[in-house]
């Protein structure tokens, strides 16, 4: 903004100066100053023509010389010498030179480039308090950059490239709030970079290359306009800089960067040029870099990036330079990197790619090298990996993959399934071969989620979390935050920085799957958000460094604080029981959640093995399903289990495929039975006994024997009867005879309405039941 304004200012000044100077002479003192400058610069050839009658304000601008005047004063002075101009002789005094220069107090632009100027930069220069652009490149200044420079508060561009400045960047640069360009390339500056760099909010260009800066790059995430970050050839690191996402060019070449590329890089939609070559990066190469929307140049040469490339990896078509040389990559060269018709430079020598070329190492080389740089072998990594992973995730983690939630859910389900519980025969795993999700990147999944589902839900957008963030939320997974444990996972409660609580499921993966494998699951996961599901907020994963496979997955869910539905219905010693109206509402919530799982996503999720202990209540007592089935993961987590369970039962399998939705209906019936009876049901024969009682009650039109005493009497008969009937039908032995989820919902809503109406009836004289439903829809017949 400030910059734009100043451009306009320049333009106006320039036009004015042209108009004005035809009629107005430069003040003679300014002429004297220029002539003195000429003299101090040792009368260089390109200033030969200057003399006391030169009309300075109306010189034809040349690349080597531009003077702009305004109202008799010089506002711009550009003097550009020959490239490689030698140092001015010993007799030159930078002090006299600057003393002369400051007699041009209106200067807003001063460029003195390649003039052989030498000496320490005099602080007197800061008397040019209107300066907006200062370019002193390619001279021989030495000493430190005077901190007083920060008093030039109009400064927008400060360029001191190609001198021999030493010391650090001056303190107080952050008071240069208009600064848009800071370039100090090719000097001998050293020391660490001050955090205050991160507050130069208008900075567009930060170029510190070819110095000796060391240490971490300060957090630059507030520099929202930063387009160019050039840190080449310093000793910065080890963490990848934190940069905001308007960045167009990142050059980290030849530094001391070690930890992997943060996942955030995937959001750099304007990134065109990425050069992180010749560092000490370890960890997986983020292949999605090759398909960033604007990317044209990728150089990761001479690092220790690991991971597998695939032939069908996508690339941005405008990619014209890719250097993967000297890393530890395996797999195949992506076909989009095989130069075809278009001009494209691709180098990949010195990896372990299966290209058949001599310039590739055998795969064992990459493995060993990975070990040599401290990357742990697959079998020992478990203990140590979290340190490395932490480091990685501090930088943002890598890849986008995720998976997970699903795994966790399955694992937990698996765990729960081992407890004696009521369930119809075989309800594990959906081997749903037709389930194929397209493998878009997480990024896309996030967009979909954001665009389509969020508003209505009031949930934050699905996102990736850093491990650091989760550790902070749980006080390093402190035992006080521990909620529960399954055979493969633990559940923790965490509090995010914004104060909200989350449930974090931590899952160790068993097999070595790369992130690609998990993409579909992540995508699916990010879509599984519904008011009556405990919805996913995001994920975080760790992976092994040696082969980029996922080592641990953290699934972050909304935290549902009010306990399980059972704890409000049938647990012993409960303080408060749900009323009939609340029970119907909870049942409707569960049914809506099921309906969403069956029909709200494509393909639907069936065979979810619902249990009342997996239904949680939120602060408004809205029911949320906390455990559901993600079929694709079955192959991964439950392989061994599956084989045992399904061995030979083809009949079941095909029946299940045909009536897959009806298994969930049965489970729902069991939940409903507990809601109605108020008795905890844990065994299958308990279901049978209660179901018989239910039938007897319905037939005898006497609910008292089966219905929870707490509600008996407080509910309308018609409402209760409707619930009992639908419950009974859900529990039908033959899946074909069980109602559809729509039918179930319809009946529950009817039960709710007649209940409301009966209450209204008892409170007012107008007892007419106004129901949009036709009672002929009511299916009262019970088939057996
Ligand atoms: C310009 O300089 C010349 C000698 O270099 C001198 O004779 C002349 O008086 C000067 N003119 C003005 C206007 O100062
Ligand atoms: C400084 O000025 C010189 C001469 O005009 C120019 O070549 C160079 O690009 C400028 N430096 C920057 C960083 O713009
Ligand atoms: C900086 O130094 C590099 C080589 O060290 C050189 O190629 C580049 O032209 C120099 N840039 C400037 C602005 O001096
Ligand atoms: C730059 O300054 C350092 C320290 O003052 C000195 O050692 C070095 O030789 C200088 N380099 C050049 C190119 O003048
Ligand atoms: C960088 O700063 C931003 C805001 O100033 C903060 O949100 C972010 O967590 C910081 N990142 C790191 C890695 O410190
Ligand atoms: C590079 O980083 C490592 C830590 O990762 C540090 O020990 C080392 O001193 C750094 N090297 C330089 C030259 O700063
Ligand atoms: C790729 O990087 C290697 C190692 O830094 C370098 O030797 C090679 O010249 C680079 N290739 C190209 C085409 O620049």
Concatenating the DSSP letter of every residue in 414-445 gives HHHHTS-----S-------TT-------HHHH
What average pLDDT does the segment 36-56 reach?
91
* Element at 746 (helix H, strand E): helix 741-763
What average pLDDT does the segment 663-685 reach?
91
379: pLDDT strictly greater than 80: no
Between these two residues, 718 and 433, which has the higher pLDDT value? 718
The Å distance, Cα 134 to ligand 2 centre, comes to 10
Dihedral sign of CA atoms 504, 510, 514, 517 in order: negative
659: pLDDT strictly greater than 80: no
The closest alpha carbon to 285, from 325, 251, 345, belongs to 325
- Return the minimum-mean-pLDDT range out of 115-124, 299-308, 646-655, 701-710: 646-655
490: pLDDT strictly greater than 60: yes
Query: Can you say how many angstroms the Cα of residue 563 is from the centroid of all Cα atoms in its chain?
Result: 31
What average pLDDT does the segment 225-231 reach?
95
- Most confident segment among 95-109, 460-474, 554-568: 95-109
The Å distance, Cα 170 to ligand 3 centre, comes to 22
Residue 672's SS3 state is helix
The Å distance, Cα 628 to ligand 5 centre, comes to 35
Q: How far apart are the first and last CA of the chain?
A: 76
The span from the CA of 620 to the CA of 610, in Å, is: 21
Atom 5, ligand 6: residue with shortest CA distance: 238
The Å distance, Cα 444 to ligand 5 centre, comes to 24
Is residue 678 within 8 A of residue 710, CB to CB? The reply is yes
The minimum-distance atom of ligand 4 relative to the CA of 140 is 14
What average pLDDT does the segment 658-676 reach?
89
Token reading at 350: 């010195």
pLDDT value for 446 = 30
The Å distance, Cα 185 to ligand 3 centre, comes to 8
Domain 561-784 in this protein, CATH class: mainly alpha
- Which of 235, 259, 392, 394 has most ligand 6 atoms within 8 Å of its beta carbon, as the pocket-test mutant? 235
pLDDT value for 263 = 87
**Length of the chain (residues):** 784
The span from the CA of 102 to the CA of 104, in Å, is: 5
- Return the minimum-mean-pLDDT range out of 494-498, 553-557, 664-668: 553-557
pTM greater than 0.85 (yes/no)? no
The minimum-distance atom of ligand 6 relative to the CA of 256 is 1
The minimum-distance atom of ligand 7 relative to the CA of 278 is 5
The Å distance, Cα 535 to ligand 6 centre, comes to 43
Is residue 252 within 8 A of residue 232, CB to CB? The reply is yes
The span from the CA of 504 to the CA of 495, in Å, is: 10
Phi and psi torsions of 613, nearest 5° = -75, -10
pLDDT value for 727 = 95
What average pLDDT does the segment 454-461 reach?
59
Instruction: Please report, rounded to a whole number, the percentage of residues in the chain having pLDDT higher than 90.
Output: 40
Is residue 282 within 8 A of residue 545, CB to CB? The reply is yes
How many CB atoms sit inside 10 A of residue 572's CB? 5
Phi and psi torsions of 449, nearest 5° = -60, -45
Residue 453's SS3 state is coil
pLDDT value for 764 = 41
Ligand 2 pocket residues where CB is under 6 Å: 80, 111, 113, 135, 137, 159, 161, 183
The Å distance, Cα 321 to ligand 2 centre, comes to 26
Atom 10, ligand 7: residue with shortest CA distance: 323
pLDDT value for 515 = 64
pLDDT value for 466 = 81
Between these two residues, 31 and 541, which has the higher pLDDT value? 31
- Most confident segment among 1-10, 130-139, 437-446, 765-774: 130-139
Question: Where along the chain do its domains lie?
Answer: 379-424, 561-784
- Which of 273, 322, 323, 345 has most ligand 7 atoms within 8 Å of its beta carbon, as the pocket-test mutant? 323
23: pLDDT strictly greater than 50: no
* Ligand 5 close to Cβ of residue 54 (< 6 A): no
- Most confident segment among 52-66, 368-382, 486-500, 597-611: 52-66
CA of 144, nearest ligand number: 4
pLDDT value for 175 = 92
The Å distance, Cα 256 to ligand 6 centre, comes to 6
- Most confident segment among 44-48, 276-280, 384-388, 614-618: 276-280
Encode pLDDT of 173-206 as tens digits: 989 999 999 999 999 999 999 999 999 999 999 9
Between these two residues, 42 and 379, which has the higher pLDDT value? 42
């Amino acid at each position: 903004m400030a910059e734009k304004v100043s451009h306009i200012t320049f333009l106006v000044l320039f036009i004015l100066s042209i108009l004005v100077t035809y009629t107005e002479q430069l003040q003679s003192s300014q002429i004297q100053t220029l002539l003195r400058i000429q003299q101090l610069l040792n009368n260089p050839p390109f200033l030969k023509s200057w003399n006391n009658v030169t009309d300075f304000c109306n010189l034809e601008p040349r690349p080597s010389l531009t003077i702009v005047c305004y109202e008799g004063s010089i506002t711009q002075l550009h003097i550009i010498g020959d490239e490689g101009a030698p140092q001015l002789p010993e007799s030159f005094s930078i002090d006299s030179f600057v003393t002369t220069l400051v007699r041009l107090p209106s200067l807003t632009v001063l460029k003195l480039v390649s003039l052989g100027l030498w000496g320490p930069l005099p602080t007197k220069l800061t008397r040019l308090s209107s300066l907006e652009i200062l370019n002193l490149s390619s001279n021989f200044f030495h000493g430190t950059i005077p901190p007083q420079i920060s008093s030039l508060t109009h400064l927008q561009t400060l360029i001191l490239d190609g001198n021999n400045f030493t010391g650090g960047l001056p303190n107080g640069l952050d008071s240069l709030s208009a600064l848009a360009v800071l370039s100090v390339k090719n000097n001998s500056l050293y020391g660490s970079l001050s955090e205050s760099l991160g507050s130069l909010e208008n900075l567009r260009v930060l170029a510190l290359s070819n110095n000796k800066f060391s240490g971490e790059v300060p957090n630059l995430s507030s520099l929202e306009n930063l387009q160019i970050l050039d840190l080449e050839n310093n000793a910065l690191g080890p963490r990848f800089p934190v940069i905001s996402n308007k960045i167009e060019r990142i050059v980290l070449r030849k530094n001391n960067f070690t930890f992997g590329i943060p996942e955030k890089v995937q959001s750099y939609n304007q990134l065109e040029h990425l050069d992180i070559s010749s560092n000490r990066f370890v960890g997986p190469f983020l292949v999605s870099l090759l398909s960033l929307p604007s990317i044209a140049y990728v150089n990761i040469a001479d690092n220790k990036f690991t991971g597998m490339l695939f032939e069908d990896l996508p690339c941005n078509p405008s990619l014209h330079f890719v250097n993967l040389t000297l890393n530890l990559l395996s797999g195949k060269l992506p076909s989009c990197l095989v130069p075809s018709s278009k001009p494209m430079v691709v180098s990949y020598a010195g990896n372990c790619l299966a290209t058949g070329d001599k310039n590739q190492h055998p795969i064992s080389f990459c493995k060993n090298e990975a070990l040599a740089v401290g990357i742990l072998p697959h079998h020992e990594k478990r203990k140590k990996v979290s340190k490395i992973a932490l480091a990685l995730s501090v930088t943002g983690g890598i890849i986008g993959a995720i998976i997970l939630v699903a795994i966790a859910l399955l694992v937990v389900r698996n765990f729960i399934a081992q407890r004696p519980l009521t369930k119809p025969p075989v309800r594990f795993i959906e081997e749903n071969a037709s389930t194929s999700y397209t493998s878009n990147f997480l990024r896309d999944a996030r967009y979909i989620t954001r665009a389509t589902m969020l508003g209505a839900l009031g949930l934050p957008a699905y996102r990736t979390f850093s491990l650091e963030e989760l550790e902070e939320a749980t006080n390093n997974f402190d035992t006080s935050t521990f909620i529960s444990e399954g055979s493969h996972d633990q559940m923790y409660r965490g509090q995010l920085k914004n104060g909200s609580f989350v449930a974090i499921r931590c899952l160790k993966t068993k097999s070595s799957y790369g992130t690609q494998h998990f993409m579909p699951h992540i995508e699916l996961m990010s879509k599984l958000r519904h008011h009556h599901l405990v919805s996913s907020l995001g994920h975080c994963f760790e992976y092994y460094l040696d082969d980029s496979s996922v080592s641990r997955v953290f699934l972050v869910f909304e935290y549902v604080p009010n306990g399980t539905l059972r704890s409000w219905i049938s647990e012993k010693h409960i303080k408060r029981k749900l009323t009939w109206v609340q029970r119907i509402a909870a049942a409707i919530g569960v049914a809506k959640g099921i309906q969403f799982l069956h029909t709200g996503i494509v393909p639907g999720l069936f065979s979810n093995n619902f249990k009342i202990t997996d239904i949680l209540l939120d602060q408004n007592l809205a029911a949320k399903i906390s455990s559901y089935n993600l079929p694709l993961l079955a192959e991964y987590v439950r392989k061994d289990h599956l084989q045992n369970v399904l061995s030979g039962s083809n009949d079941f399998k095909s029946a299940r495929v045909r009536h897959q939705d009806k298994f969930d209906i049965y489970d729902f019936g069991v939940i409903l039975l507990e809601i109605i009876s108020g008795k905890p049901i844990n065994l299958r024969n308990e279901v049978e006994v209660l179901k018989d009682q239910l039938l007897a009650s319905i037939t005898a039109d006497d609910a008292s024997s089966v219905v929870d005493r707490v509600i008996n009497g407080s509910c309308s008969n018609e409402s209760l009867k409707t619930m009992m009937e639908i419950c009974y039908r859900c529990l039908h032995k033959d899946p074909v005879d069980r109602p559809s989820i729509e039918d179930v919902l319809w009946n529950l809503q009817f039960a709710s309405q007649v209940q409301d109406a009966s209450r209204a009836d008892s409170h007012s004289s107008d007892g007419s039941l106004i129901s949009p439903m036709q009672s002929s829809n009511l299916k009262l017949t019970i088939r057996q």
